[in-house]
């Protein structure tokens, strides 16, 4: 990794965790100011709007990030496309709010979606500028914008809830967040990028966006299809157990993976424009991701029962074996987690769509077959579809980059050995903790600490790239601390 990528990752993680702290604080406050019913009304509306948001962006942000020669005409077309699609989706949301309110038998839905629809009017002026900051890897500015907006969102929501706005306080908080973000982007946008909309170049924008948004919609459906299958075959209690297990694993994606992926697309696009070594960047990035992800999922697989009982109570013990199987099944995904970003960054969104058109039906068929046996079989079956996705991404990236599978995934072999060392240390610590009948929290902390120690020792012994980055960060911090 070069200095630009390292700096971008630092600011991306800083923004992620700073915003997380603000969100936790505001959530705790709002939980005491609003009733579950009020939060439920907003949550249903927010879920509806989230689906609309996938359509609203239409891949325009990714188009601006990956475009090799971004002319004024293309930028004008991106603004025009963002306005046309954003306002159209917002209008559809407004038209759908009354039928949705009738279907849910909740009149408050009309007000909440009416307020949230204002975001679709504002976002087209903000999202292209935000994409340009990503393109130039200005993640320090993105940190300022995102963290400031999170503060505005939290303060607005809490203040309005204190003054009796109920579920509307959350909707207005979202609009305040979007509006404040748009103002900051107007002030911090790259110079020369505030242009009037235009139609020249619209074909390229919509051509890229049509592939991107279709792929995203398929991925969204595929990612949630298991809930409908489980509900039909095993019942709603099983849906709750499965969702609780999967939600625990998704914490890693929310707090680690997403921060990396946000940097990955502009980093790949930057290397692509400069004619850099994309196979090497992909291989090193994948090695770093797997070296961190695999020990974490190994920890969850080993300690799922203790984690579930500590966080959620004994009534969720039945989710532990599901969590263990899902943790093991998810591991192969980190060999291709950067694949979609690489395809987006190089303009090959059609290849991403082809992969999803093959992977999605395979995944659904595997789930349907496994559902004939047990909930645990369904959880374990995910490894089959994940291995299919891995083979598809490797196939397309080999042809795209002119690289062998060994070049792309070879460095991750060291990650497997690093993960084995970490998980072995965790297994030993877990066995000792259970024999000593230590409290759950103490046992988990000892096991986690042993896993981190095993990870660092193995990475250093094997000269894994992760050890080099850790040492670089350590020397940097020591140098800054030295007077």
Please, which pLDDT band fits residue 468 given cuts at 50, 70 and 90? confident
Question: Which residue has better confidence, 385 or 210?
Answer: 385
**More confident position, 253 or 382:** 382
Of residues 167, 145, 172, the one with CA closest to residue 156: 172
Q: How far apart are CA 151 and CA 19, in angstroms?
A: 8
Pull the structure tokens for residue 290. 């797997």
pLDDT at 219: 81
269 vs 407: CA distance, rounded Å: 20
Residue of 140, 405, 174 whose CA lies nearest to 263: 140
Average pLDDT, the chain: 84
Residue 2 above 70 pLDDT? Answer: no
Q: How many CA atoms are closer than 13 Å to the CA of 82, on its beta-carbon side?
A: 29
Contact 152, 180 (CB under 8 A): yes
pLDDT per residue over 279-291, tens digit each?
888 888 899 889 9
Per-residue pLDDT at 237 exceeds 80:
no
- Tens digit of each residue's pLDDT (9 = 90 or more) over 151-180: 999 899 999 988 888 888 888 998 999 899
Is it the case that residue 294 has pLDDT exceeding 90? Answer: yes
Q: What is the pLDDT of residue 447?
A: 92
Q: pLDDT at position 236, please?
A: 66
d(CA 458, CA 464): 8
Average pLDDT over residues 202-231: 80
Cα(174)–Cα(184) distance, rounded to whole angstroms? 16
CA distance 37 to 460: 52
- Tokens 């060994």 appear where? 406
Look at the block and give the residue holding tokens 């997380």.
Answer: 20
- Residue 70 pLDDT exceeds 80: no
> Averaged over 255-275, what is the pLDDT?
81
What distance in Å separates the CA atoms of residue 301 and residue 307, rounded to the nearest whole number?
Answer: 10
List, for residues 368-424, the tens digit of each pLDDT value: 999 889 888 998 898 999 999 999 999 998 888 888 888 888 888 889 999 999 999
Ramachandran bin of 347, using left for φ above 0, alpha for ψ from -120 to 50, beta for the remaining angles: left
Residue 271 has pLDDT above 90, yes or no: no
Give the model's confidence band at 1: pLDDT under 50 very low, under 70 low, under 90 confident, else very high: low
pLDDT tens-digit series, residues 304-356: 898 888 877 777 788 889 889 999 999 999 999 888 888 888 888 888 889 98
Taking alpha carbons only, the member of 382, 457, 446 closest to residue 420 is: 457
Cβ neighbour number for residue 3 with a 10 Å cutoff = 7
Give per-residue burial for 70-98: e unless 16+ CB within 10 Å, then b: beeebbbbbbbbbbbbbbebbeebbebbe
| Tokens 């697309």 -> residue | 265
User: What does the pLDDT read at residue 416?
Assistant: 92
Q: Calculate what percentage of the chain has a pLDDT beyond 90.
A: 17
The Cβ-side half-sphere exposure at 252, using a 13 Å CA radius, reads 21
Report DSSP letters for 259-283, one per residue: HHHHHHHHHHHHHHHHT--HHHHHH
Report which of residues 122 and 239 the model is more confident about.
Answer: 122
| pLDDT over 90 at 446, yes or no | yes
- The per-residue pLDDT for 482 is 64
The residue behind tokens 């990236």 is 397
CA distance 347 to 353: 12
Predicted confidence (pLDDT) at residue 481 exceeds the cutoff of 70 = no
Q: What is the mean pLDDT of residues 210-222?
A: 81
Over the stretch 83-118, which tens digit does the pLDDT of each residue have?
888 888 888 888 888 888 887 677 888 888 889 888
| Per-residue model confidence (pLDDT) at position 3 | 65
Residues 128 and 194: their CA atoms lie apart, in Å, by 10
The per-residue pLDDT for 13 is 78
Mean pLDDT of 424-437: 91
Kindly list the distances between the CA atom of residue 159 and the CA atoms of 22, 33, 117, 177, 266, in Å, as whole numbers in the listed order. Answer: 15, 10, 21, 14, 37
Structure tokens at 109: 């839905």
DSSP for residue 256: I
Q: Which residues make Cβ contacts (< 8 Å) with residue 478, sequence separation at least 6?
A: none
Q: Rounded CA gap, 334 and 290, in Å?
A: 6
Average pLDDT over residues 208-223: 81
| Most confident by average pLDDT, 120-129, 264-273, 434-443 | 434-443
Looking at residue 72, its pLDDT comes to: 81
Chain center to CA of 183? 25
Retrieve residue 23's tokens: 């969100």
The residue ranking higher by pLDDT, 107 or 447, is: 447
**Contact status, residue 282 vs residue 338, Cβ threshold 8 Å:** yes
Q: What is the CA radius of gyration of the chain?
A: 23
Residues 16-36: what's their mean pLDDT? Answer: 78
The answer to whether the beta carbons of residues 366 and 228 sit under 8 Å apart is no
Which residue shows structure tokens 């060999």? Answer: 335
What is the pLDDT averaged over residues 56-70? 79
In 3D space, the residue among 370, 253, 375 whose CA is nearest the CA of residue 322 turns out to be 375
What CA–CA distance (Å, rounded) separates 90 from 113?
9
Number of other residues whose CB lies within 10 A of the CB of residue 51: 13
pLDDT value of position 332: 92
- Residue 193, classed as helix, strand or coil, is coil
DSSP-H helix ranges across 275-337: 278-312, 320-330
> For residue 385, with 0-12 CB atoms within 10 Å meaning exposed, 13-18 middle and 19 or more buried, which class applies?
buried
List, in sequence order, the alpha helices (H) in 117-201. Answer: 118-135, 139-162, 167-188
């Amino acid at each position: 990794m070069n200095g630009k990528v390292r700096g971008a990752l630092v600011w991306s993680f800083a923004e992620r965790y700073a915003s997380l702290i603000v969100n936790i604080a505001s959530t705790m406050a709002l939980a005491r100011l609003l009733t579950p019913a009020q939060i439920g009304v907003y949550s249903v509306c927010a879920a509806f709007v989230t689906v609309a948001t996938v359509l609203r962006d239409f891949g325009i942000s990714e188009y601006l990030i990956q475009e090799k020669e971004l002319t004024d005409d293309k930028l004008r077309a991106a603004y025009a496309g963002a306005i046309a699609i954003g306002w159209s989706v917002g209008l559809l949301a407004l038209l759908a709010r009354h039928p949705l309110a009738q279907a849910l038998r909740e009149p408050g839905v009309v007000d909440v979606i009416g307020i949230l629809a204002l975001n679709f009017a504002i976002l087209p002026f903000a999202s292209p500028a935000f994409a340009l900051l990503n393109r130039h890897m200005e993640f320090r500015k993105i940190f300022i914008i995102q963290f400031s907006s999170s503060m505005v969102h939290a303060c607005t929501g809490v203040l309005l809830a204190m003054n009796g706005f109920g579920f509307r306080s959350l909707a207005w908080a979202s609009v305040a967040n979007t509006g404040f973000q748009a103002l900051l982007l107007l002030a911090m946008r790259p110079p020369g990028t505030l242009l009037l909309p235009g139609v020249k170049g619209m074909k390229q924008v919509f051509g890229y966006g049509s592939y991107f948004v279709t792929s995203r919609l398929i991925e969204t459906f595929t990612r949630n299809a298991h809930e409908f299958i489980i509900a039909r075959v095993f019942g709603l209690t099983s849906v709750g157990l499965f969702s609780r297990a999967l939600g625990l694993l998704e914490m890693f994606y929310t707090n680690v993976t997403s921060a990396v992926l946000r940097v990955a697309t502009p980093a790949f696009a930057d290397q692509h424009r400069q004619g850099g070594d994309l196979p090497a960047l992909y291989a090193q990035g994948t090695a770093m991701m797997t070296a961190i992800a695999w020990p974490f999922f190994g920890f969850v697989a080993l300690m799922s029962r203790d984690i579930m009982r500590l966080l959620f109570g004994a009534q969720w013990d039945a989710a532990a074996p599901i969590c263990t199987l899902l943790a093991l099944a998810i591991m192969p995904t980190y060999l291709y987690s950067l694949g979609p970003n690489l395809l987006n960054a190089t303009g090959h969104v059609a290849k991403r769509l082809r992969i999803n058109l093959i992977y999605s039906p395979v995944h659904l068929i595997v789930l349907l077959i496994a559902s004939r046996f047990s909930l645990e079989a369904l959880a374990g079956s995910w490894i089959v579809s994940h291995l299919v996705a891995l083979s598809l991404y490797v196939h397309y990236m080999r042809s795209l980059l002119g690289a062998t599978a060994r070049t792309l995934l070879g460095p991750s072999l060291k990650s497997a050995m690093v993960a084995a060392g970490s998980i072995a240390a965790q297994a030993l610590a877990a066995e000792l903790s259970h024999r000593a009948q230590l409290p759950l929290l103490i046992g988990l902390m000892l096991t986690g600490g042993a896993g981190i120690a095993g990870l660092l020792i193995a990475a250093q012994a094997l000269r894994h790239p992760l050890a080099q980055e850790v040492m670089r960060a350590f020397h940097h911090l020591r140098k800054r601390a030295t007077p």
